[in-house]
């Protein structure tokens, strides 16, 4: 059987399974295993060798998965997940929001701006967009609603702010992208800092325009914080600032690798939480159990994706796609317009991790063929994936907010609230595409 035909059949089968809502790990892994077996059992020349295909197929599969799990960089994922859980249970992540609220309450739309800043701070520690949206949805949204904020503005700000968890380091998606694209995770983390800050400022601009246009959606808060209160709130947030400094300063200063920064920041968080009596041993154990569960789920998906990458490489489909695109001679603008469109459409239906691992085998060769910097492209991909978290009909951050906020805000109102923020995301994406230096300035300085 022609390897290219096997590749096309396998890709079609994966798309059908995903359309049927099959878990992404099962769709990628099962199809990859079956197609790898078919590749060896039905060679393009000669008679079928079904009995002799088991050994090479299993050998390739086990070697591929072993090499992935043997990756040093992969160990950063459970460390950062554990860091996020410990900081959440100790209240370290919430401190950033309360600091922002103390300093921005009197500013028009200040509570919404504080929520976005709180999301950015949470993201800088946890690396999880969904966890960020869930936590800030419980903390910030009821606070804004209590002060008379529009439910659209309150939920829109938090849903959009939650997407910063993918871009501001440390991000789990950056780690997986670095492993599959064979790029420095430390440089990817640094590349996300400036685009993450630009996105945050962009959200503030949206809030400023919104509250100027519709002042009734963000009444001025009547709570008065003295200068002493503000500095007191800032002083209580020192653990979060210290952890962020360890991650960013350690990597930028060349003191740590991304994995070492994960381990050190996790150890520091445990010591601080116990020393300040913010957490109990039972809560640490619960955090580790949740970390094990989430890490296992991510590793299973990553292993299935790695098998799929091996299958695509074996059949030569990716190279054929590159040759086909090269023969069409599209300009860079046309190529990247197509890539952006694909990611935005997939973001409407799939989760970010699934999109990333499904598309990389095909997209990376195209980008490399254009001579593009893969660190810069990693930032573009992560930005596109985070935009997918707030696009209908399956904007995961929107559904998370709908499930955790009290009182309940209808999903339609939340989607209406995130629309202006999505428009700003498009503006930021355009800036990142036109000016790669925005992503590469800090990594190039390492």
Domain locations in the chain?
Answer: 1-70, 74-300+374-445
Q: Is the pLDDT of residue 85 over 90?
A: no
Instruction: Report, in this order, helix, strand and coil percent for the chain, each rounded to 5.
Output: 80, 0, 20
Q: What percent of the chain is predicted at pLDDT more than 70?
A: 98
Mention every residue, 6+ apart, whose C-beta is less than 8 A from residue 65: 303, 306, 307
Q: Which residues contact 375 (CB under 8 A, 6 or more apart)?
A: 183, 184, 187, 188, 191, 439, 440, 443
The number of beta carbons lying within 10 Å of the beta carbon of residue 430 is 11
- The model's confidence at residue 124, banded by pLDDT at 50, 70 and 90, is confident
Mean pLDDT of 419-429: 94
Share of the chain above pLDDT 90, in %: 19
Distance, in Å, from the CA atom of 186 to the CA atom of 432, rounded to the nearest integer, reads: 19
Instruction: Name the DSSP class of 112.
Output: H
Which of 400, 378, 382 lies closest to 390, judged by CA? 400
pLDDT reported for residue 221: 67
Q: Cβ atoms within 10 A of the Cβ of 214, count?
A: 12
Give the span between the Cα atoms of 359 and 348, in whole angstroms. Answer: 15
Confidence of residue 423 (pLDDT cuts 50, 70, 90): very high
Other Cβ atoms within 10 Å of 271 Cβ, number: 11
CA–CA dist 124, 190 (Å, integer): 12
> How do residues 215-273 score in pLDDT, each as one tens digit?
888 887 666 777 888 888 888 888 888 888 888 888 878 888 888 888 898 999 999 99
Sequence-distant (6+) residues with CB within 8 A of 20 are none
Q: Which candidate, 1, 65, 70, places its Cα nearest to that of 39?
A: 1
What average pLDDT does the segment 338-344 reach? 87
- For 329, other C-beta atoms within 10 Å of its C-beta total 7
Indicate if the pLDDT at residue 198 is higher than 90: yes
Q: Grade residue 294 by pLDDT with cuts at 50, 70 and 90.
A: confident
Instruction: Give me the torsion for CA of 342, 345, 348, 352, rounded to 10°.
Output: 0
Separation between Cα atoms, residue 396 and residue 351, nearest integer Å: 7
* pLDDT score for 440: 93
Mean pLDDT value across residues 316-325: 74
How distant, in Å, are the alpha carbons of 39, 54, 419 from that of 35? 6, 12, 41
Contact residues for 113 (Cβ-Cβ < 8 A; gap 6+)? 100, 104, 107, 157, 204, 207
Alpha carbons 318 and 362: distance in angstroms, whole number: 5
Least confident of 256-260, 315-319, 365-369: 315-319
* pLDDT given for residue 311 in this prediction: 85
Residue 203 — pLDDT band, cuts 50, 70, 90?
A: very high
Rounded average pLDDT over 67-85: 85
Other C-beta atoms closer than 10 Å to the C-beta of 284 total: 18
DSSP secondary structure string for all residues of 41-71: HS-SSSS--SGGGHHHHHHHHHHHHHHHHT-
Question: Under a CB-based contact definition with an 8 Å cutoff, are residues 141 and 401 in contact?
Answer: yes
pLDDT value of position 270: 93
Mean pLDDT for all residues in the chain:
85
Q: What integer pLDDT is reported at residue 375 of this predicted model?
A: 94
pLDDT value at residue 222: 64
Phi, psi (rounded to 5 degrees) for 2:
-65, 125
d(CA 326, CA 173): 29
How far is the CA of 59 from the CAs of 66, 174, 303, in angstroms? Answer: 10, 29, 15
- Please answer whether residues 230 and 102 qualify as being in contact, where contact means their C-beta atoms are separated by less than 8 angstroms: yes
């Amino acid at each position: 059987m022609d390897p290219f035909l096997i590749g096309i059949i396998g890709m079609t089968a994966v798309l059908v399974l995903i359309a049927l809502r099959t878990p992404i790990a099962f769709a990628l892994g099962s199809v990859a295993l079956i197609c790898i077996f078919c590749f060896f059992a039905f060679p393009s020349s000669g008679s079928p060798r079904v009995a002799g295909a088991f050994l090479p197929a299993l050998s390739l599969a086990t070697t591929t998965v072993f090499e992935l799990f043997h990756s040093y960089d992969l160990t950063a994922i459970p460390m950062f997940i554990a860091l996020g859980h410990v900081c959440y249970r100790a209240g370290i992540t919430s401190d950033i929001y309360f600091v922002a609220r103390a300093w921005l309450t009197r500013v028009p739309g200040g509570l919404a701006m504080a929520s976005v800043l709180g999301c950015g701070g949470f993201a800088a520690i946890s690396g999880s967009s969904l966890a960020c949206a869930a936590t800030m949805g419980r903390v910030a949204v009821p606070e804004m609603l209590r002060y008379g904020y529009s439910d659209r503005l309150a939920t829109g700000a938090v849903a959009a702010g939650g997407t910063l968890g993918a871009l501001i380091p440390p991000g789990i998606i950056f780690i997986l992208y670095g492993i599959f694209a064979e790029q420095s995770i430390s440089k990817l983390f640094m590349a996300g800092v400036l685009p993450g800050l630009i996105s945050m400022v962009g959200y503030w601009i949206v809030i400023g325009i919104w509250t100027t246009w519709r002042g009734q959606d963000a009444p001025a808060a009547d709570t008065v914080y003295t200068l002493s209160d503000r500095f007191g709130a800032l002083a209580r947030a020192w653990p979060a600032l210290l952890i962020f400094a360890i991650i960013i300063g350690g990597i930028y200063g060349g003191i740590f690798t991304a994995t070492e920064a994960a381990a050190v920041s996790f150890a520091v968080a445990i010591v601080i939480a116990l020393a300040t009596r913010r957490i109990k041993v039972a809560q640490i154990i619960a955090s580790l159990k949740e970390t094990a569960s989430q890490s296992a789920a991510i590793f299973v998906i990553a292993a299935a994706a790695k098998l799929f990458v091996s299958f695509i490489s074996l059949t030569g489909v990716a190279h054929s796609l590159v040759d086909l695109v090269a023969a069409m001679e599209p300009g860079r603008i046309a190529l990247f317009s197509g890539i952006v469109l694909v990611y935005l459409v997939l973001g409407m239906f799939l989760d970010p991790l699934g999109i990333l691992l499904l598309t990389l085998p095909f997209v990376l060769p195209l980008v490399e063929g254009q001579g593009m910097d893969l660190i810069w492209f990693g930032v573009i991909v992560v930005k596109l994936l985070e935009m997918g978290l707030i696009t209908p009909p399956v904007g995961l951050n929107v559904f998370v907010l709908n499930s955790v906020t009290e009182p309940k805000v209808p999903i339609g109102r939340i989607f209406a609230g995130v629309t202006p923020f999505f428009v700003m995301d498009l503006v930021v994406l355009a800036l990142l595409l036109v000016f790669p230096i925005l992503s590469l300035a800090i990594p190039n300085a390492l």
